[in-house]
Structure 1
Amino acid sequence: MRQPKLLPPTVQRWVEQRTGPVVAVRDASHDWHRSRVWELEVTGGARRYVKVSPPVKFFTRETRAYRQVVPALGPSRAPQLLDSRADDLALLVTAAPGAPAPGLRLTSTEWRAVHSQAGMLCARLHEAGELGPDDRAEAEGSLEAAADGAEKYLARAGGRLTGGEQQLVRDYAAQLRRVGPVPLGYIHGDNQPRNWLWSAWLALVDFERTRPAARVQDLVILTVTEWLDHPDRQEAFLQGYGRALTDAERHALRCLTALDAVNCLAWGPDNDHPEVTARGRRTLDRLMKEDQP
């Protein structure tokens, strides 16, 4: 059992300048060492969350997302940014309604409803305004950038992949460069149930990876986890999303799952995260089997 992470005193003083005295603090970080999030109870019983981002890049992305992209989700569909402090890479946000979907004992019907609303919210996020020139350039290069990362992850994974598996990843990286035009927009970047809060409706949280990109990149984790065992949830998501994927998106998605697999096999063991490691191994085993002549 990990030790609770302590809210830095400088961050607490900054928060209290905006909220009044903090009555209680609960460590709400994800289960990895760089995640630092706290749930706060302030005077009057209101709940707030404060997050200290691991790198500057994530702080910058998340601050911008809350100001420019997240409002497109609608009221009560995400936290609201109250303030940010660049010196500490800290963000102070309101509490969104609901609880993380994985911790709830949902029925199959309820899970389909969750995925349907997730599809609807992703569509809103993906269409959150026109891309400016710089954002469009970043989005247009996002699949190429993903393909460029293959060799880095292969090097980090080392002997965790066989020679045949390494070649499969390289082949899919090469294919990803040739898929052609796909729809672009702002993606969540970590779109999965742990970042979905469910009550009477769905809310999204955690926007540190929100960026302009190929929209299909938001479906990779769901494809290799939730949807693999529950295709009805994929159907519900796409109904909420409002359209089927294009042929180019389906091809890109398969390529991206291969790159996700090697990323998981590089990151998971190095960070003592067996769930991520298992995700990568399962995907790679499936692709190797399906691609056999």
Structure 2
Amino acid sequence: MKQTKLLPADLQHWAEQRIGPVVAVRDASHDWPRSRVWELRSERGIDWYVKVSPGKKFFTRETRAYRHVVPALGHRRAPHLVDSRAGELAMLLSVVPGAPASELGPTDGEWRAVHRQAGALCARLHEAGPLDRADLAEAQASLEAAADGAEKYLARAGARLTADEQQVIRDHAARLRRVGPVPVGYVHGDNQPRNWLWSTTGLALVDFERTRPAARVQDLVILAVGEWLDHPDREQAFLQAYGRALSTAERHALRCLTALDAANCLAWGPDNDDAEVTARGRRTLDRLMRENRP
């Protein structure tokens, strides 16, 4: 059972200095220990969020994203950062309308509409201004960095993977290093329907703690091993709104990245009792094993 997390009194006082008296607080954290998010109702009847990041890197990424990247999405297409406190890794955020698309059970037609809007928003995010020298270097090295993570995932997964499965992961990591240049930009980093809020006013993106400069195709991995695998019409809708088809190099990179995602899922999922993530990794790896057999 999820335990209710209490908003620290000093953070509530800090928030009230910006939004006025708070009349209600609701724990809105995800069901894992490091998630700490609260919804606040102000005296004026307006809702806000206080989020405490799980670490300094996530806090730095997210606050930077809200200041320099997220505005490219447009009005009410993402929360805005009202204030932050680096010492507590805390952020005060506005609330955008909607509920996670993953929880709404849309019809097939509605799902295509969701993916069309997601494709358009991702295009805006990926093209949110030119990268400076440091960001460009990080983005261009992102596929190499992803390949470097393979051994870490394999070590953590241990005996959950057979020797043949481990070799398939290593083979895809090696191929990823040979992909060559692909388009880069700012990626959301956790781009999937649970972070897409759907309402009558359209789609909004939330949760930017993993936003960073990277190969743009890295934002499509979770979709490729989930939504799109079973519903190619949603992939088509997304890419039509995204504005272009993936290049051959991006398609090749995406396949390699799905293998690394599987290893990561099979390392992280069981360790954190996350059945959904574990199942995602196992399904992907089983498919790759079938496809790699003669």
TM-score, scaled to structure 2: 0.99
Q: Deviations over 1:207-254 (max 9, x none)?
A: 000000000000000111111111111111001101000000000000
- 1:63 Cα deviation from its structure 2 partner: 0.2
Distance 1:53 1:131 in 2: 25
| Residue aligning to 2:268 | 267
| Residue aligning to 1:185 | 185
Distance 2:68 2:174 in 1: 34
Q: Deviations over 1:243-271 (max 9, x none)?
A: 00000000000000000000000000001
Which amino acid in structure 2 is aligned with residue 274 of structure 1?
A
| Residue aligning to 2:249 | 248
Which amino acid in structure 2 is aligned with residue 285 of structure 1?
D
State how many pairs are aligned.
Answer: 293
| Residue aligning to 1:220 | 221
Distance 1:264 1:105 in 2: 25
Q: 2:80 aligned with 1:71, yes or no?
A: no
Distance 2:127 2:104 in 1: 29
Which amino acid in structure 2 is aligned with residue 69 of structure 1?
V
| Residue aligning to 1:4 | 4
Structure 2 residues not aligned, in runs of 5+: none
Q: 1:9-158 counterparts in 2 under 5 A?
A: 9-158=9-158
Q: 2:145 aligned with 1:163, yes or no?
A: no
Q: Deviations over 1:94-135 (max 9, x none)?
A: 001211111213111000000000000000000000000000
Distance 2:198 2:228 in 1: 18
Distance 2:289 2:185 in 1: 31
- 1:43 Cα deviation from its structure 2 partner: 1.0
Distance 1:101 1:159 in 2: 35
Distance 1:105 1:192 in 2: 15
- 1:13 Cα deviation from its structure 2 partner: 1.3
| Residue aligning to 1:230 | 231
Cα RMSD for the two superposed structures: 0.7
- 1:26 Cα deviation from its structure 2 partner: 1.0
SS at match of 2:118: helix
Farther-moved stretch of structure 1 (98-107 vs 140-149): 98-107
Farther-moved stretch of structure 1 (18-27 vs 141-150): 18-27
Which amino acid in structure 2 is aligned with residue 227 of structure 1?
W
Calculate percent identity across the aligned residue pairs. 76
Farther-moved stretch of structure 1 (90-99 vs 204-213): 90-99
Distance 1:36 1:242 in 2: 36
Q: Deviations over 1:159-195 (max 9, x none)?
A: 0000000000000000000000000000000000000
| Residue aligning to 1:174 | 174
SS at match of 2:181: coil
Which amino acid in structure 2 is aligned with residue 58 of structure 1?
F
Moved over 6 A (4+): none
TM-score, scaled to structure 1: 0.99
Distance 2:277 2:103 in 1: 18
